[in-house]
Structure 1
Amino acid sequence: MQGGGWSTGCAFFDANGDGHLDLYVARYAEVTWDQVVHAQRTLTWRGGPKVMVGPVGFPGAADIFYENRGDGTFTDATDRRGLTDTAPSYGFGVLATDYDGDGWTDLFVANDSNPNFLYHNKGGNGFESVALLSGVALNAEGRAQAGMGVDAGDVDGDGWLDLVLTTFAHDTKTLYR
């Protein structure tokens, strides 16, 4: 598999119904480890190693979707499966779940300081970006959050999955129903 940079989350799931687990990788920034270690925006905590404070200063990275070939290898199918219609972002948490109950696994990506992604699986024939239309790209105040993680469950007992977005310090957590 190809792809560098700073990857922060991933999910294995069968995107096209062929019985093989495919892989979606959320990438945080187009940056090398050397750039992080020697970044201008670093802090030292209790005399320990320097740590990077981001994402300011580093460009967001495009996520990658790897399709399982069924022979132990994967191929980059990001473009072919329609997962390139969103801008490179600071991807963090990835959730593979069937949010609409149509029998096909969809994807939610929690992004740091940028709108979240929600990709609807079009019956194994690729994905469509629906986050803005579905109301999960931004919070109720209309702003992007510092999305760090995501999970789903039927919180209100109505038979539909609800999404919970966890965030960085001093940012509200969001429940999408």
Structure 2
Amino acid sequence: RQAEGVGARALEFAILTAGRTGEVVGARWSEVDKDAKLWTIPAERMKAGRPHRVPLSDRALAILDALPREDGNPHVFIGDKKGKPLSNMALLMTLRRMDHADITAHGFRSTFRDWAAETTAYPSDMVEMALAHTIGNKVEAAYRRGDLFEKRHRMMADWSTFCGAVKPAGDVVKLRQHLP
């Protein structure tokens, strides 16, 4: 949060939404419904080829509210070139500028998964939905119609609270330390 720039805000948004880099840098304002606290990623931008509804925490909404806008640019995270989004490398370069070349933006998805599994009671299938993972069992996939949006909204708010907990500068939180 202390880093400045659109790349830093995109990285924070990716962390808070457990989104993939491409999903985040390709986000368009037309996909965001602030009143519903919802980001709907269309099927053509999703790895699994299905639309994905992402609940937005208060902090994720605050990031969106503070972003610069460019007339005629539909992208949420605008890049240096007029009318274009951030590059796919922007999040990785932000981490490098923060002297964290040893980690990747995608690794925060794994961190989210570990946090949910090791420190919460949220069901695994709900966590997998938040990550937009497909259901491997074809029978279960055929019967699953909902996306647990309201429950996932609470989970993402809890994740945002965890991510925003005040820690000493440079402190690394090891999830296993927080288990009972």
- Normalised by the size of structure 1, how large is the TM-score? 0.22
Q: Higher relative contact order at CA 8 Å, sep ≥6: structure 1 or structure 2?
A: 2
